[in-house]
Chain A
Amino acid sequence: MTEPILQLEHVSYTYPDGPLAVEDLSVSIEKGERVAVLGRNGAGKSTFFLLCNGILEPSAGTIRCGGKVLTRNKKDLTELRRRVGIVFQEAENQILAVTVEGEVSFGPMNLGLPLSEVERRTAEALDRMGLGEYGDRSPQYLSGGEKKRVTIADILAMEPDVILLDEPTASLDPENVVRLEETLDQLTQAGIALVVSTHDVDFAARFARRGLVFSRGKLVADGSLESIFSRQELLEEAGLRKPWLWQAAEALRPGEASYPMTMEQFTRWRETAG
């Protein structure tokens, strides 16, 4: 068996002036995996992301990256930040440079790569996000969807193994959500593991098989989305609802153990008996 790309073991974190933000967190992410992270605001999702990338230092527990235990030394941190990228919720907070090309080159520049390599990676990341023509544009003249793609290109240019996306669908219009889902598929094909936090359970159901549920700083569930949505007491604890299709199917045929969550599954489910 291959080593998981990212592994957190009994990790806890306390904010300096606050209560325990994340408590005894153990989770591992495999290569090319897709994981949906669910839970209320303030349940610990964002803290989890910042821990994964080494922005926050765990007060207890260990983080392994590709099987290797990470220390706080500079080399390990740089390595972690290259392999685990975060796409932040607010594009405006992430976009730093004054041209799109400059923005995407920021990560590779920080990795200390030779200039020709920075140029190659930047051009490739822009191309993959369909931003090839946008190189010398200023971020202030981009639309919301374009800004989101710039922030993903930011991370792609670092050639990571895992990308963590913090509520990527928030503030996107439906058309751009569809584009985002296509982009995510493309990233999975490229072998990049994706961890996406979201409040949109319908999107989560389309996106992933596996879900992590956070509540009050604890990981309260880690398993298939079917198993998560069939546990009523868990949904109540974490403030979640079932996907609409699940609810519709349940209303049609009550009493089954689990229900379809995507349109595809729903069509198949309707064809089987009933």
Chain B
Amino acid sequence: MAHRHHHHTHTEGILTLDALAARSGLRGVSPGLKMVFSVGSLLLCVGAADPVVGAAVACSMAAIIWLLSKVPLDRLLRLLRLPLVFLSVGCLVILLEFTRNPIGLWQLHLGGRWLCVTVQSLERAVTLLFQAMGAVCCLFFLSTSTPMPQLIEVLRKCRLPELMIELMYLIYRYLFVLLEVQRQMTVAASARLGYDGWRRSLTTAGKISGGLLASSFRRSSACFDAMEARGYEGRLTFLCRTPKLRWPHVLAAAVYFMLLTLLILIRKRGIAL
């Protein structure tokens, strides 16, 4: 049962981001601009290495995702939960120091040694937490507002090799086809008690992976026939209309970058407002 649950959440993860992007309030904004905006903010956030800047980026991005990209708040919080848990655990390790003598802000005696939190370790952990959350929010902004096909078209414009572009299209397409096959096989297997107990779950999952590979091979030749039937001659091209670059959007992104840079300067130079 636990395993089935795991499968489901995993499937939903990919589908959720994809569905959110398809319905996003920002789907009419140029994907190139969104990519520059997201990656630019990410670099500033990571480069600044400052908790206030990180928190500002994380909060502003979350607000943009919620208010402009129109992702429901509960969905957004659920999306953020996973990286937050992961980062918290990671930062906890950095927060705690193992020493011979009790030092710093907080200590715990542990069999002759001391588990301590120092000012430096606290600062390091908090900085890392916010820095990373800011970066995660930047990427979530991109993935919840930009449908994958548009993203691939941007990469094509960036002169990525044609082969990689075609592979990305095919992988993206067949991800959903194979997920559906996998889901059906999993349901069929659990209907025959294939997920009864840990050991059997493992064997069943292995068999399903094998079955998936076999069915992929069979499918690939059928797909190739279908491609040839429509005159495929070795170049995969589709009509793809991506939203155009609009000046108000560029202006908005520029203002955001300027405010962010200002904040970084204030923090680094200690300029008081």
Report how far A97 CA is from B168 CA in the complex, Å. Answer: 11
User: A98, B169: Cβ atoms under 8 Å?
Assistant: yes
User: A158, B239: Cβ atoms under 8 Å?
Assistant: no
Q: Among A78-86, A178-186, A201-209, A257-265, which stretch is in contact with chain B?
A: A78-86
**Pick from B225, B228, B239: contact of A119, CB under 8 Å:** B239
Given contacts A92-B177, A110-B232, contact A101 B241 (CB under 8 A): yes
User: B22, A141: Cβ atoms under 8 Å?
Assistant: yes
Task: Tell me the B176-195 residues at the A interface (CB within 8 Å).
Answer: 176-177, 180
User: A98, B148: Cβ atoms under 8 Å?
Assistant: yes
User: B231, A82: Cβ atoms under 8 Å?
Assistant: yes
Decide if B173 is an interface residue (CB 8 Å cutoff).
yes
A103 to B: closest C-beta gap in Å: 7
User: A101, B239: Cβ atoms under 8 Å?
Assistant: yes
Interface size class of A (residues with CB under 8 A): 35 or more
**Pick from B18, B169, B172, B228: contact of A55, CB under 8 Å:** B228
Contacts of A122 in B (CB 8 A): 239
Interface SS of chain B: helix
> Which 3 residue pairs spanning A and B have beta carbons closest together?
A102-B238, A105-B239, A110-B231
Q: Per-residue CB proximity of A61-98 to B under 8 Å, as 1/0?
A: 00000000000001000100110011010101111111
User: A50, B238: Cβ atoms under 8 Å?
Assistant: no
Contacts of A137 in B (CB 8 A): 22
Report how far A86 CA is from B227 CA in the complex, Å. Answer: 10
Residues of B in contact (CB 8 Å), total: 33
Contacts of A138 in B (CB 8 A): 18, 22, 147, 149, 176
Report how far A96 CA is from B152 CA in the complex, Å. Answer: 15
Interface SS of chain A: helix
Contacts of A98 in B (CB 8 A): 148-149, 152, 169, 172-173
User: A96, B227: Cβ atoms under 8 Å?
Assistant: yes
Contacts of B176 in A (CB 8 A): 138-140
**Pick from A93, A99, A118: contact of B226, CB under 8 Å:** A93
Q: Per-residue CB proximity of B213-236 to A under 8 Å, as 1/0?
A: 000000100110111111111011
Given contacts A98-B149, A102-B240, A137-B22, contact A81 B226 (CB under 8 A): no
Decide if A107 is an interface residue (CB 8 Å cutoff).
yes
B21 to A: closest C-beta gap in Å: 9
User: B147, A85: Cβ atoms under 8 Å?
Assistant: no
Decide if A215 is an interface residue (CB 8 Å cutoff).
no
User: A158, B223: Cβ atoms under 8 Å?
Assistant: no
Report how far A138 CA is from B179 CA in the complex, Å. Answer: 15
